[in-house]
Chain A
Amino acid sequence: MTATPRLSLREITKRYPGVIANDGVSLEVAAGEIHAILGENGAGKSTLVKIIAGAVAADAGAIEFDGRPVVGADPAVARTLGVAMVYQHFSLFDSLTVGENIALGLDRRLGRRELAEAIRSAGERYGMQIDPTAHVHDLSMGERQRVEIVRALLAQPKLLILDEPTSVLTPQATEALFATLRQLSSEGVSVLFISHKLDEIRRLASRCTVMRAGRVVAVVDPRGESEQSLARLMIGGQPPQIAAHDTAPGQPRLAVDGLPLSEGGEPLSFEVRAGEIVGIAGISGNGQNALMALLAGERSARAESIRIDGRPIGTLGPRQRRALGLRYVPEERIGHGAVPELSLAENALLTIDRLQQRGFVQPAAAAAYAREVVHHFDVRCPGTQARAGSLSGGNLQKYLVGREVLAEPAVLLVNQPTWGVDVGAAAAIRNSLIALRARGCAILVVSEEIDELFELADRLMVMAGGRLSPAVAAHRLPADELGMWMAGRWPRAEQ
């Protein structure tokens, strides 16, 4: 480490009202180094990288890039220096195409054809194919992430920052991304990689800065650490263990019979039984969101194609389905599962129908319900009057899962239960699903995280191209075969 570091942070401090997000954080990244930042939600990782990218100004401390001090916070200046950032919360315009979004993020101007060619070649080179003419609002979360990464790569960065990049990728795609990152690193590009996936950090990074509550608690070589030791550093204690399960499933509670995702689509059929978790694996954008919208009642279907406890519900709306015990935690927290501008208490009103009486909302009852959720699910927040949008991703997700779980559903649909959530919160969410299963709930989990599905699900299905594979006992499906299924190649004979 005698050469000038690519990036050097000294004593960076950033305060927000009520919290110190970064407290004297120092960090060095060498040229061509892959450096991981590990930490729980709220540890200050995202704030730190926003400061590096010039999106947020530090209150105190100094930043040097290639030995030269960086004055003031300005994303444009950071970009000229060669910092490219892939945010955890996407910064894409829904109504524009992929190409237009990428063009907006580039400082140099390219012709339409040139740009499309650049996107295609970058996509090919890094195994991230995207159609430049597709509209972003039609893309899944996984596809949007690909757009973000390709956009960052097209800027030919010297320092590439990725905030939780693998949470929506398949194992194969994660491998491809890692290969890309190693290739970039060998070309001298520094990579700053934020994650809370311990195995990935150990596989990829040569140095790891561990943050807790805004401070750096350790800088280690992750290759010399075990997952347990990293987890201990991160949360300052033993990670919560997932409870074991040994319940026998009962009667079918959710029965889907001949339900096409769209007009003329292949009809899907499956069932979820009481006391059972069924997982749907697959790369996002293969029909999962359409399926969830149909099951939750945001879109209507033929009455008999969906049943709860034998009762046809295909034509009912979400509220009527909730009355029958079907509840749903959508993939997107902000703007779908929660209204960010409203308080936690008001967000309880969205789906807890008993908080409305005779045409009036019951603010006191809503606050009490929200307090209950905050208490039982360890949601870290200033209070139930806090705006939902002010919570960190993990805490809001705990709140949203808690809101539905506390209502004791008969059938629970969960789309990406732990997307962008730290280890501690993810374990808490999974534990609450497992406890709910033990109480006889039928749970359907859509996830792109294979490990999560193997941990949770009794039976697994795979979704690809709008079709569903047959359901198999999770332990009978090896991970490498799952990769084949995710590409749509499962044995047709079993259908």
Chain B
Amino acid sequence: MRMPMSGLSLVPRGSPSRLWTWASPLLALLLTVTCGMLLFSLLGRSPWQAVSMFFVEPLSTRRGVAEVLLKATPLALAAVGLALAFRANVWNIGAEGQLIAGSIAAAAVALAGAGSGGWVVALAIAAAACGGMAWASITAWLRDRFNANEILVSLMLVYVAQLLLSYVVHGPMRDPAGFGFPQSPMFDRAARLPLLLDGTRLHVGFLLALAAAAAAWLLLARSVIGFQLRVAGLAPRAARYAGFSSRRVLWTVLLVSGALAGIGGGAEVTGPMGQLTPSVSPGYGFAAIIVAFVGRLHPVGVVAASILMALFYIGGELSQSRLGLPSSLTGVYQGLLLLFLLGADTLIVNRVRLRATPA
């Protein structure tokens, strides 16, 4: 692994660096911000506006902070589940589909329970978990029964879920009084998640995300199944030697990550949206993959990374509304962050050394 460029070379470390495991996302963030500033100056804006739009403005008001945490909620829920799956070497790429399935299930319960008490929302969230689980179980079953590649299956099922969503909002769930728009009626007050902060849109779904992260941490650090999934991910033969069931691990992580993504979708429709629309998710399920890796597949790191990713979403929106820049900046920032993270991660197992110009 030699880079002839500028006399720098990468030398493998004896063992992975603990420092760089956590310093690498920070370096990636720094590079992303630098690139973002460069991008802003190329677009004819002050580079400091980039910092301001993405990191200062969103956090300078109570309402702004609430919006960031609101956006972080579905990201954190989906990413905590993905972190578990990725730890076990189960590559669930379809959190987006599971999130959509969860939102459809939650909407169905919310609409069916119209006029009932406040328990409807709890039922809707439970239904969302089941919806996400059911969607993920298709992947689990095909992998278990036919050894079908879970990356492809879960990814393809995203598009199926999107079409299913499109069907229900155009057909069975369409609001009869909605002038033909493809969206469901607004849910009852009782079918909406309670708010956490008055005057903001932040709802109890955020607490669910924190609870999910705490539970995932406990699962990984202390539970037998958590230990089994770590071993299955690190050394499959050792897992077989110990007699851990690879099927049990596969089903557990897919059902848990499906349920969490589903809750993320359910919390969106019963939270800020209040109805089912074709645009339930601006790609939360895919962004959650980046969140999981930036968070080092660690539940606490995932929560922090989801807040960072939420800043990108909101910064993109602000850049559009305040400065007239395209909101696709969000996607650019996400992509840059992942790219730089993958690059910086080589420092975990390698060190950089200055070398005399190779002969």
A58 to chain B, nearest CB (A): 13
Determine whether the beta carbon of B242 is less than 8 Å from that of A350: yes
B-facing mask of A287-319, CB < 8 A → 1, else 0? 000000000111000000000000000000111
With both beta carbons as reference points, the residue of chain A lying nearest to B225 in the complex is identified as A359
A296 vs B241: C-alpha distance when bound (angstroms): 8
A360-B222, A360-B224, A361-B222 known; A16 and B14 CB under 8 Å? yes
Closest to A293 in B: B240
- B227 near A349 with CB under 8 A, answer yes
Q: Which one, A168-176, A278-286, A339-347, A370-378, is touching chain B?
A: A339-347
- A338 interfacial by beta-carbon distance below 8 Å: yes
**Are A338 and B222 neighbours in the complex by a CB distance under 8 Å?**
no
Which of the residues A72, A349, A361 comes within 8 Å of B356, measured between beta carbons?
Answer: A72
Which chain B residues lie closer than 8 Å to A296 at the CB level? 241
Answer whether residue A390 sits at the interface, using C-beta atoms and an 8 A cutoff.
Answer: yes
Q: Which residues of chain A come closer than 8 Å to B231, judged between CB atoms?
A: 339, 342, 350
Main secondary structure of the interface of A (DSSP, over half): mixed
A328 at interface (Cβ–Cβ under 8 A)? yes
Please indicate the chain A residues that have their CB under 8 angstroms from the CB of B234 in the complex.
339-342
B45 at the interface (CB under 8 A from A): no
Docked CA distance A400–B80 (Å): 34
Provide the A380-418 mask, 1 if CB < 8 A to any CB of B, else 0: 000000010110000000000000000000000000000
B243 & A335 in contact (Cβ 8 Å cutoff): no
Closest chain B residue to A320 by CB distance?
Answer: B243
Cα distance A360–B242 in the bound complex, in angstroms? 16
Residue of A nearest to B224 (CB): A356
Least CB distance from B256 to A in Å reads: 14
Interface status of A108 (Cβ within 8 A of chain B): no
- Min CB distance B355 to A, Å, is 6
Once the chains are docked, how many angstroms separate the CA of A320 from the CA of B243?
A: 8
Contact of B223 with A297 in the complex, beta carbons under 8 Å: no
List chain B residues, Cβ under 8 A from A359: 223-225
Asked if A297 and B243 make an inter-chain contact with CB atoms under 8 angstroms apart, the answer reads: yes
Q: In the complex, what residues of B have CB within 8 A of residue A142's CB?
A: none
Query: Do A361 and B227 have beta carbons less than 8 Å apart?
Result: yes
Closest to B359 in A: A77
User: CA separation between A415 and B324, bound complex, in Å?
Assistant: 69
> Counting CB contacts under 8 A, is B15 at the interface?
yes
Q: Does B8 contact A (CB under 8 A)?
A: no
Cβ A328 vs Cβ B241 within 8 A: yes
State the Cβ distance, A45 to closest chain B Cβ, in Å: 16
Apart from A72-B355, A359-B223, list 5 A-B contacts with CB within 8 A. Answer: A296-B241, A339-B235, A340-B234, A360-B224, A361-B227
Interface residues of chain B, those whose CB is within 8 Å of chain A, are 2, 11, 14-15, 222-225, 227, 230-231, 234-235, 237-238, 240-243, 245, 355-356, 358-359
